[in-house]
Amino acid sequence: MNFGLSEDLIILRDAIRKFAEDEIAPHAMELDREEKFSVDITQKMGEMGLFGMYVPAEYGGQGMDALSYVIAMEELARVDGSQAATVTAHNSIGVGPILGFGTEEQKQKYLPKMCSGEMLWGFGLTEANAGSDSRGTQTTAKKDGDEWVISGSKIFITNVSNPLAGGLTVQAKTGEKDGKPELTCFLVEKDAPGLSVKTMHGKLMWRASDTAEVYLDNVRVKADAVIGEIGKGSSQMLTALDAGRLGIAAMGLGAAQGAFEKAVAYSKERKQFGKSICKFQGISFKLADMAMEIDVARSYLYQAARMKDAGVPFTKEASIAKLYCTEVAGRVTDWAIQVHGGYGLMQEYDVERFWRDQRILQIGEGSSEVQRIIIARQLGC
């Protein structure tokens, strides 16, 4: 099935697949084992145009649509979740808020470097006590003359502690209105006095991706560092996450596809009782279920991306795609390990890494439980 893809999209898919297999796959296992962020691979992904896919050409981007972006993320995750995470986070919650809500000056200043891959950008939302409850943000920003003073901390932030990091967008509490926190987003550059980052190690997943803790100790930014309007940070965040969920869904789909392909190949090579194990019904039915779930997930995700491209509301569809694709990834990678038997538990087999990398997808950018809340609300419940 080509899922209604145009010739241009098929060419794009095949080009990124070849890039991932040639430039990323040979290093994925070693980078994962060493917990090493690769500047070289990141710069090559920038040269491929993967860091500004849906940004207009006037800001240095590729001007592509959501479906192109989804296909690209799927192909990267099919080989390595860590590299896909770097690209997905940068495009969705790194570039997204600036492109969607930034001033012309902010766009001209930041987007060209972000699109080329010269500079990565993070999004400081999650805190120790503010995860799913993003309105529980305790980081504050107080006005002092023509400046804002930001104090607080963030955790599990992607792309802010590597050599290419340029800074991050920080959501902070700037006051209260009608008894509710007023949240605003600020652009904070990496060399801002009082800003410090600490790389997090010992992760189960995305071990070659950059994840960090962020500390803001009376960080001063000018008034022109505000993104959009004061108090609109929460709505900006939710808009960015809608689009971001398509990328996370694509990563789930890619992880499932990669693990599935490994399982099929292994099942044809591995022999027991005198024949390939794929000839046994217990294994062949697992493979059939994997193929079915992947095809259904891909069909729905591509349709959700087409809805975004058509400019119609897609909040419910983005949540369904994210929920379903990531949970499919959980089932498929688990089955892939089962097909491999004991070998599937060893680090020299890729399915072990696929299983670890997919686990975060049911938590990040809105957990599976939060997606069900969103879907239920969209149904009027």
Which residues have CB under 8 Å from 79's CB, separation 6+? Answer: 20, 21, 24, 25, 28, 254, 258
Beta-bridge partners for 158: 211
pTM > 0.85: yes
Predicted pLDDT at 240:
81
Predicted pLDDT at 152:
98
Catalytic residue among 74, 75, 127, 365: 365
Does the annotation count 365 as an active-site position? yes
The end-to-end CA distance of the chain, in Å, is 36
Predicted pLDDT at 140:
97
Sorted by where each begins, the domain ranges of the chain are 7-118, 121-231, 235-378
Q: Which CATH class is domain 235-378?
A: mainly alpha
Which residues have CB under 8 Å from 202's CB, separation 6+? Answer: none
Which residues have CB under 8 Å from 259's CB, separation 6+? Answer: 329, 332, 333, 336, 350, 351, 354, 355
Are the beta carbons of 259 and 80 closer than 8 angstroms?
A: no
What kind and span of H or E run contains 291?
A: helix 281-310
What are the pLDDT digits (tens) for 227-243?
999 999 988 988 887 77
Predicted pLDDT at 274:
96
Predicted pLDDT at 255:
98
Asked whether this chain's domains 7-118 and 121-231 adopt the same fold, the reply is no
Q: Single out the residue of 284, 188, 277, 181 nearest to residue 232, CA to CA.
A: 181
What are the pLDDT digits (tens) for 256-285?
999 999 999 999 999 999 999 999 999 999
Predicted pLDDT at 311:
95
What are the pLDDT digits (tens) for 287-316?
999 999 999 999 999 999 999 999 999 999
Predicted pLDDT at 56:
96
Predicted pLDDT at 2:
77
Predicted pLDDT at 22:
98
With tokens 């071990």, the residue in question is 207
Q: Single out the residue of 42, 72, 46, 83 nearest to residue 61, CA to CA.
A: 46
Spell out, as residue ranges, where the chain has pLDDT lower than 70: 1
What kind and span of H or E run contains 172?
A: strand 165-177
* Domain 7-118: assigned CATH number: 1.10.540.10
Q: Which CATH class is domain 121-231?
A: mainly beta
